[in-house]
A and B are shown apart, each in its own frame.
Chain A
Amino acid sequence: MRHTSNMIRLLGALALLALTATAAQAERFERINVDLISDSDALAPGEPFWVGVHLRPDEGWGTYWRNPGAAGLATSIQWESSDKAHVGGTEWPLPDVIEAQGVTSYGYYRDVLLLSRVVPDDDLEPGDTVSVGAEISWAVCSDICILGDGAFSLELPVAAAPAEAAEPPRRELFERTREQLPRQIPEWEQRVQVEDQALELVLASPERDFERAERVRFFPYEARVLDIDATPSTDISADRIRLRHALDASAEEDVDRLEGVLVVESPGETRGYEISEAVGDGQPTVAAGVQAGALSEFGLLTVLLMGVAGGMLLNLMPCVFPILSIKALMIMESVKLGDTRHRIHAVFYALGVISFFCVIGGVLYVLGQAGMVGGWGFQLQSPWFVGLLAYILFLLGLNFSGLLSFGYRLMGVGQSLTESGGYGGSYFTGALAAVVATPCTAPFMGTAIAYALVQPPVHSLLVFIALGVGMALPFVVLVVVPGLARVLPRPGPWMTVFKQALAFPLYLTVIWLLWVIGGQTGAMGMAVVLAGLLLIVFVVWLRSIETVATRPGPRAVGQGLAVAAAITAVALLWVPDAEEPRPRGTVAEAAAEGTWLAYDPDRLEALVQDGEPVFLNATADWCISCIANERGALSAPSVTKAFREKDIVRMEADWTRPDPEIQALLERFGRKGIPLYVLFPGRDAQGDPMEPVVLPQFLSPGVVRGALENVQSPGSND
């Protein structure tokens, strides 16, 4: 009982608060209450806040949106502020369609808050006040329209940070209203075209945002673009919206741009997406992102060629090279033995490579559709994948060392070409080569993948096939072109020694992968994977003594143990947890040396605003090219000297584990993977800010120094 009465009292108090909060400035006009309110009672220097014109018409009366439609007058607001703050333009929540007497208009037959974002100056001090003013004129309509206008102002005191938020009802009103503002479209495909006096808009969301969408409607910003009384035809699927709307009879034949809001209604949720798109020839473009937009300028063919080139470069990666060498040796052997099937083997090898890239492409696409962020190298953010890769490379190393020979059942890597049924072996060699190539991002590949992921599935698949073709190409050419294989050294007993020697780079790669896991999950995760490796050795040993055990009993026990150990080894991969905190590897080291700052978007923004030159390095422990660039170019004495002389702030974004802020950074520069190097050069000689420069993915000290030359040296009096 007491609870109830307390509850009633609380509700009463809240209601009173709501009244006093929202009615503080309210002024009663004919048929409408109007006031100017803010989401903060006191503001902090430099901290943005929101103000809003609260229009509350009587029941059955309404005001209009920025484009009022066939009838109506948009509410007009002239924002003003004291010279200590900057007030943005009016931001309009999503409108309703108002159908009255056969006339369609857009507006609000309900309360609405028209927003504006205010940024107070940094140098304000507690005790100062900031005033925000609004001159408002409106038409409030039902069967008649009443014109009204008024001038309002708010005086807000400056408090020491943080800003003082308004009471809950008012703050929540602002929060709710902000959710009703149109959103910027993420990196989605959008397309606008005009055909048969109708406008067609296609919007594709890789995140399946439209899964529950029931209704869509487009609200143009300009009047008389679309035939407002026509009913649009729509076609909605989970990842794609197609809307067709008849043009207004008075619309220019050559509508060249479509601007407005696409409103998508789902049960319990209505979202608006801001569309600003040139009317094109039906070719899709990619929204948002400085460079992603530029990507659309590449034709599909160009991107496919870049994919092939990037794939070819993967062959030079340290992790791929041993496997390829072995395969080449086998081919030489087969040629020596007069085997004529080597061309078929080459085809199977190529198919193996391409299959893996198709799988990766599919996984990336599905992850993107499911709203999980994917990018090249994302696999290596999962400790279990890194662990699995360590196992595979360890097994390969054992094989190369001659301690283990795989049957065809497993991988067929050791399968001789001269034996029958070896095509499967070639296929798996291809797939394996592609698997171990994933840590090595070659130039062009990042661009090709960024392009692929925002394309329709068929195009996307083509790009990944191109990567596979590129990677398989050198090998296939070597085998298929007569005479080329003869250039290679003659086969002989030296090959066994060579193969055993190649095991050592593989073991080294395993150590590197263990280090990556250590970085991701700490010493515990590393120990667990090491235990898994030990179990693998145990299985190898059990198999070697099988030949000694002649009786079926002990033999069965040995086999059972081997299977159990193998399963345990695989199960161990799920133990390390990437979510555990870890020391921030290279960042921590760098910070200790006092050279690299950890990436912080706000800090970067502040530095760029101040005209400070910044060199940004997006890297990860598992990214070989990144580490190679850091060791070879970024730590080169001549480069570090240039960094110091030019007073360049060095910032490192460590993507060893998933990080949405770094993901956003990559997307801003149109990348899906790392490395990414960006130089923000600060100001030029005239003091004007310069555009950021993206450096190549393979760095040499010369490349970096060349880029840094554009940065102005700090003045001699500094």
Chain B
Amino acid sequence: MPGKTVATMALVAAAVLPGTATPAGSVDIIRYDNPEQAPGFALEDVTGQERSLEDFEGRALVVNFWATWCAPCVRELPALERLHADPDGPATDVVAIAVNQWAVDIEEFLEAREEISLSFTLLPDPDGVATDAWAVGTLPTTFILDAQGRVHYKVVGDPDWDGDEMRERIAGVKQ
């Protein structure tokens, strides 16, 4: 009885206080048992430099599809930054592809949101070429790739990137 009450309260709290320490939103994590080669991309980054998937081979890679207007996407950016910059973390590269947005959109966004400082690669996808190739229709959507560029996980929503579960998954694809 008490256990059930606690569980109910936790559910209510999760519903009432969305987005506190643990994301309350539905997060859908798909694991591919037979990982296939990712579709790839070739986009200019915010500095104008051409970047493609091949540039990142050799390490595990997190490819995040987001947009500056997408609240849940923006919310997970700091966690992705910690994932990328944490020396004790699973040592991965992060690429964030901004869906249907231009470099100037990202620059304006970073100017307006001074509290957000990102050191990973930001790729605007103004024509949605990469977005279409990866068949992304929901934001945020994040793919976890191994060092050979094969997709192991597709994550729809904003998971707890700081939690052990996600970090272990990323560490797992490196092998």
Q: Which residues of A contact B (CB under 8 A)?
A: 30, 68, 70-73, 100-101, 103, 105, 139, 141-148, 224, 248-250
Chain A residues with CB below 8 A from B25, complex form? 142-144
A145 touches B72 (CB 8 A): yes
Interface residue tally of chain B, by bracket? Answer: 20 to 34
Choose one: A143, A145, A148; the contact of B67 (CB below 8 Å). Answer: A145
Contact A100 B18 (CB under 8 A): yes
Tally A-B pairs: CB < 8 A.
73
Q: Is the CB of A145 within 8 A of B112?
A: no
Given A71-B71, A72-B71, A145:B24 Cβ within 8 A: no
CB atoms of A144 and B99 under 8 A apart? no
Distance (whole angstroms) from the CB of A230 to the closest CB of chain B: 14
Residue of A nearest to B111 (CB): A250
When chains A and B are docked, how far (Å) is the Cα of A317 from the Cα of B67? Answer: 73
Q: Does B119 contact A (CB under 8 A)?
A: no
Is there an interface contact between B158 and A143, defined as CB atoms closer than 8 Å?
A: yes
Given contacts A68-B69, A143-B157, contact A103 B74 (CB under 8 A): yes
* Residues B71-92 near A (CB distance < 8 A): 71-75
Which A residues lie within 8 Å of B5 (CB)?
A: none
Known: A30-B137, A249-B112. A147 touches B71 (CB 8 A): no
Given contacts A73-B69, A144-B139, 4 further A-B contacts (CB under 8 A): A72-B69, A101-B75, A144-B25, A144-B140
| Chain A neighbourhood of B19, CB < 8 A | 100-101, 143
Q: Could you list some 7 contacts between A and B, CB below 8 A? A: A71-B74, A100-B19, A101-B18, A103-B71, A146-B137, A224-B112, A250-B112
B70 within 8 A of A: yes
Docked complex Cα distance between A141 and B73 (Å): 11
For the complex, is B138 an interface residue (Cβ under 8 Å from A)? yes
Q: How far is the CA of A146 from the CA of B138 in the complex (A)?
A: 4
Contacts of B140 in A (CB 8 A): 144-145
Contact between chains at B111 and A145 (CB < 8 Å): no
Ranked 10 nearest A-B pairs via Cβ: A143-B25, A71-B71, A101-B19, A145-B139, A146-B138, A103-B71, A145-B70, A73-B69, A144-B157, A250-B112
Whole-angstrom CA separation of A250 from B111 in the bound complex: 8
Give the complex CA separation of A139 and B108 in angstroms: 21
Instruction: State the Cβ distance, A463 to closest chain B Cβ, in Å.
Output: 47
Minimum CB distance partner of A149 in chain B: B137
Contact of A101 among B26, B70, B71 (CB under 8 A): B71
Tell whether B23 is near chain A: CB-to-CB under 8 Å.
Answer: yes
**Residues in B neighbouring A70, C-beta threshold 8 A:** 71
Closest to B113 in A: A70
Given contacts A145-B139, A147-B138, A249-B112, contact A139 B70 (CB under 8 A): yes
Is B156 interfacial (CB 8 A cutoff)? yes
* Closest B residue to A223 using CB positions: B69
The answer to whether B139 touches A147, judged by C-beta atoms less than 8 angstroms apart, is yes
Bound-complex Cα distance A72 to B158 (A): 16
Question: Given that A73-B67, A103-B71, A224-B112 are contacting pairs, would A143 and B24 also be in contact in the complex, using a CB cutoff of 8 Å?
Answer: yes
Q: Smallest distance from the beta carbon of B17 to chain A beta carbons, Å?
A: 10
User: Which B residues from 13 to 57 make CB contacts under 8 A with A?
Assistant: 18-19, 23-27
CB distance from B26 to the nearest CB of A (A): 6
Q: How far is the CA of A141 from the CA of B67 in the complex (A)?
A: 12
Q: Please indicate the chain A residues that have their CB under 8 angstroms from the CB of B108 in the complex.
A: 250
Contacts of B27 in A (CB 8 A): 143
Residues 98-120 of B, flagged 1 when their CB comes within 8 A of A and 0 if not, give 01000000001001100000000
Q: How far is the CB of B101 from chain A (nearest CB, A)?
A: 10
Given A142-B25, A146-B138, are A105 and B70 neighbors across the interface (CB < 8 Å)? Answer: no
List the A side residues contacting B99 at CB < 8 Å. Answer: 147
Given A72-B69, A224-B112, CB of A145 within 8 Å of CB of B158: no
* A614 and B98 alpha carbons, distance in the complex (Å): 59
Complex CA–CA separation, A68 to B74 (angstroms): 15
Partner of B137, one of A72, A100, A148, A249: A148
- Complex CA gap A692/B49 in Å reads 60
Task: Please give, as numbers and ranges, the residues of chain A lying within 8 Å of B73 by CB-CB distance.
Answer: 145
Query: Bound complex: CA of A64 vs CA of B119, how far in Å?
Result: 30
Residue of B nearest to A104 (CB): B71
